[in-house]
Chains A and B, each alone.
Chain A
Amino acid sequence: MAPAKVYGPAMSTNVMRILVCLEEVGAEYEVVPVDMSTGEHKRPPHISRNPFGQVPAFEDGDLTLFESRAISKYILRKHGSDLLRESNLSESAMVDVWLEVESSHFDGAMSPIIFQCFIVPMFMGGATDMGVVNESLEKLKKALEVYEAQLSKSKYLAGDFISLADISHFPTVYYLLASAHASVLEAYPRVKAWIDDVMQRPSVKKVTEALKMPSA
Chain B
Amino acid sequence: MTPVKVFGPAQSTNVARVLLCLEEVGAEYEVVNVDFTVMEHKSPEHLKRNPFGQIPAFQDGDLYLFESRAIGKYILRKYKTREADLLREGNLREAAMVDVWTEVETHQYNSAISPIVYECIINPAKRGIPTNQKVVDESAEKLKKVLEVYEARLSQSTYLAGDFVSFADLNHFPYTFYFMGTPYASLFDSYPHVKAWWERLMARPSVKKLAAVMAPQGA
Alpha-carbon distance A34/B146, docked complex (angstroms): 22
Our pick among A51, A93, A99 for the contact of B153 (Cβ within 8 Å) is A51
Q: Is B96 a contact of A65 with CB atoms below 8 Å? A: yes
For residue A9, give the distance in angstroms from its CB to the closest CB of chain B: 19
Q: Is A96 a contact of B74 with CB atoms below 8 Å? A: yes
B5 within 8 A of A: no
Residue of B nearest to A103 (CB): B106
For residue B81, give the distance in angstroms from its CB to the closest CB of chain A: 15
Q: Is A93 a contact of B96 with CB atoms below 8 Å? A: no
Alpha-carbon distance A174/B60, docked complex (angstroms): 36
Residue of B nearest to A47 (CB): B149
Q: Is A70 a contact of B102 with CB atoms below 8 Å? A: yes
- Interface contacts (Cβ under 8 Å), in number, total 73
Our pick among A89, A103, A150 for the contact of B74 (Cβ within 8 Å) is A89
Contact code string B84-104 (vs A, CB < 8 Å = 1, else 0): 000001001101100110111
- Chain A residues closer than 8 Å to B63, beta-carbon distance: 90, 93
Evaluate whether A92 and B77 lie within 8 angstroms (CB atoms) in the complex, with A78-B92, A100-B67, A101-B67 already known: yes
Evaluate whether A146 and B99 lie within 8 angstroms (CB atoms) in the complex, with A51-B153, A52-B104, A97-B65 already known: no
Q: Is B103 a contact of A105 with CB atoms below 8 Å? A: no
Residue of B nearest to A142 (CB): B52
B182 within 8 A of A: no
- Chain A residues closer than 8 Å to B139, beta-carbon distance: none
Q: Is A63 a contact of B74 with CB atoms below 8 Å? A: no
A182 within 8 A of B: no
A5 within 8 A of B: no
B70 within 8 A of A: yes
Q: Is A70 a contact of B67 with CB atoms below 8 Å? A: no
- Chain A residues closer than 8 Å to B102, beta-carbon distance: 70
Most A C-beta atoms less than 10 A away, residue of B65, B67, B89: B67
